[in-house]
Structure 1
Amino acid sequence: MKHQHHTLLKHQQSLLQTCQEKFKISFFDKSLLLQALSHSSYANEQRSPLASNERLEFLGDAVLDLVMVEYLFHQFPEHSEGLLTRMKANLVCEAMLAKIAQHIDLGRCLLLNKGEERDGGRQKSALLADAMEALFGALYLDQGLNIARIFILQLYQPYFHDLAENLLTKDAKSKLNECRQKGGNTLPEYRVIREWGDDHAKQYEVGIFFDETLVATGTGQNKKEASQDAAHNAYQHVCKGMKHE
């Protein structure tokens, strides 16, 4: 029994060292990191249910929310509360958290029981997302909000630009649709007006039509990009000054 306990401790110590190197962070209180990596299946198996990462996940969720709200508030001063809320929702959702967890290979560091291991727990999006939040909560307790903020923003940095771009363009289309529907009108129709350039450097111009009337155009390196640009221009031209969320 004593030998098993010693082996378990050695495994945990080795895991913590490996994962800290992987995450590029160093915990003062290693027990917090151990708890963040401990799935409830493992904690229950060890007869220590309160040592699972569920409570840290609860805390980490709040820490992540604060960091994202603060970042978006300062980074996008011209955006409405509604758009900022949608941006935050996309940044803290399970899919995004799981993507970041996969990027840092968090799954390999998790402590699971044999059943969860067999069921592919290291690849489950929900499990990875929960562990990611638990890691944020543990780091907050260990080193404070500022270090947790730096760690979170570094992990998210590769995803901010594309997500903001996609949401802004989708928002332009949805706002344009809202604008039309509130007036009882038909939805916009998108048509490619022209395309030019070599195959490797194509350019497209897309027009937006309201009942066969061209109201705005947009350009881009593909049809989707040009359509999004046209939607933005149409919204500015037709709906600016009207109150839409």
Structure 2
Amino acid sequence: MLLQNRLGHTFKDATLLQQALTHRSHSTLHNERLEFLGDSILNCVVASLLFDRYTKIDEGDLSRVRANLVKQQSLYEIAQRLELSQFLRLGEGELKSGGFRRPSILADTLEALFGAIFLDAGFDAARDVIRALYIPILDTVDPKTLGKDAKTLLQEYLQGKKIALPQYNVVATHGAAHNQEFEIECLVPKLDIQVFGSGGSRRAGEQAAAKLALEAVQKAFVKAPATPRKTKPRTAQLKLTGIATIQPDAPDAPLDEPIVAKAAGSAKTAGSTKAGNAVSLPSADVAAPATAAAATSATSNATPLITSKSKTA
């Protein structure tokens, strides 16, 4: 009854529970067929949980997260929380070799229990048990990083900080040819980080080194004070082009006279075809319109858009 209370399900058929807890080393009526069934139910329920919970994650990332949640290590950790090892039915050989602590046996037994609950009370009962076991896990995991290896996480972290990718070098190999251990160096030059990892293959050594490097990089950014942002001094004079300036005491120009605009920092008339020609603005006491002869002369020349008036016009 203790295990059933922890699972949240009371079996109507006690023989299903007994079979789910029985390893093949114990008897011929073991749990491997129930494990096959429970594995499929587990994948279906976890997929449904992820689909409902993470609405903005695409199919690829959902598959990655699900694979991580239903893998042997995850099931083993759940089995340990349930203290499943004390309920196993193992053969004498497995008992002596510590089979009740073996992750593969505990993970397979948990899947067999899911299959047994399905046969005992249907899919909804199995779903409720699995949901109760997995929701606390989902509350603590980050779907963006769950299931990604250390090299991928390190690369993504450095790219987010606009830092060059790490360098991996084989420093040494140890052991016989059939049982070598690789020592790998991981460098992040910009942060002066150098760490070493080892593994039974080059890839395993790189993963071990990347994990240490990621921890070092994250610590470096936590300790590093925020660099104040340098601001460029604003220029004292703003160059404004084409903005008309108002001349004080100037009389209103007649509708048929051209308008003269003065750009800040420039002496050109707006629309003039020759750069550098000075513009003389009319003074307050000059209000007479240009004579017909001056107008005819201005039209016969290069047709400037804006003309200036003078006292002799």
**TM score, norm. by length of structure 2:** 0.49
- Amino acid of the residue matched to residue 82 of structure 1? G
Q: Deviations over 1:60-92 (max 9, x none)?
A: 000000001111111111111111111001100
- Structure number with higher relative contact order (C-alpha < 8 Å, ≥ 6 residues apart): 1
Letter in 2 for 1:137: G
- Say yes or no: does 1:20 pair with 2:7: no
Q: Does 1:223 align with 2:218?
A: yes
Structure 2 residue corresponding to 1:162, chosen from 140, 146, 164 = 140
Q: Percent identity?
A: 41
> Retained in 2: the 8 A contact 1:87–1:164?
no
User: Could you tell me whether the CA contact under 8 Å between 2:65 and 2:143 is conserved in 1?
Assistant: no
* Contact persistence 2:65–2:147 (CA under 8 A): no
CA contact 2:8–2:129 (8 Å) conserved in 1: no
- State the Cα deviation string for residues 40-74 of structure 1 (Å, max 9, x = none): 0111xxxxx2x200000000000000001111111
Answer whether contact 1:42 1:113 (CA < 8 A) is retained.
yes
Which residue identity is paired with 1:116? Answer: E
- Structure 1 or 2, whichever has the larger Rg, is 2
Alpha-carbon shift at residue 34 of structure 1 (Å)? 0.8
1:104 and 2:75 matched: no
Q: Tell me, in whole angstroms, the C-alpha distance in 1 between the residues paired with 2:9 and 2:189.
A: 49
Equivalent residue, structure 2, for 1:153:
131
Question: Quick one: distance in 1 between partners of 2:143 and 2:96?
Answer: 39
Sort the Cα spacing of 1:125 and 1:191 in 2 relative to 1 into closer, same or farther, 3 A: same
Distance 1:66 1:186, change over 3 A: same
What residue ranges of structure 2 are gaps of 5+ in the alignment?
167-187, 192-216, 223-313
Instruction: Pick one of 63, 71, 91 that aligns with 1:85.
Output: 63
Q: Which amino acid aligns with 2:127?
A: R
Are residues 31 and 63 of structure 1, via their aligned partners in 2, closer, same or farther at CA, if it must alter by over 3 Å?
same
Q: Which residue of 2 aligns with 1:30?
A: 14
CA contact (8 A) 2:3 2:82 kept: no
Q: Which residue of structure 2 aligns with residue 129 of structure 1? A: 107
Residue among 25, 44, 48 paired with 1:41: 25
Structure 1 segments unaligned to the other structure (5+ residues): 1-16, 44-48, 193-221, 228-245
Instruction: Report the CA distance between 1:168 and its aligned residue.
Output: 5.8
Query: How much has 1:224 moved relative to structure 2?
Result: 6.0
Q: Distance in 2 between matches of 1:169 and 1:18?
A: 33
For residue 19 of structure 2, what is the amino acid of its counterpart?
Q
Aligned equivalents of 2:121 and 2:64: distance in 1?
30
Q: C-alpha distance in 2, partners of 1:175/1:129?
A: 27
Question: How many angstroms apart in 2 are the aligned matches of 1:161 and 1:39?
Answer: 33
What does residue 53 of structure 1 align with?
A: 31
Q: Secondary structure at the match of 1:40?
A: coil
1:64 equivalent in alignment to 2:42: yes
Question: Equivalents in 2 of 1:24, 1:139: separation in Å?
Answer: 11
- Please report how far the alpha carbon of residue 223 of structure 1 lies from its aligned counterpart in structure 2 after TM superposition: 3.1
Q: Deviations over 1:145-172 (max 9, x none)?
A: 111111011112221133335626959x
Q: Which amino acid aligns with 2:103?
A: S
3-state SS in 2 of match to 1:28 = coil
Query: 1:154 & 1:191 partners in 2: Cα distance?
Result: 46
Contact 2:35/2:108 (CA < 8 Å) preserved in 1? yes
Equivalent residue letter for 1:85:
S
**CA–CA distance in structure 1, aligned partners of residues 73 and 146 of structure 2:** 19
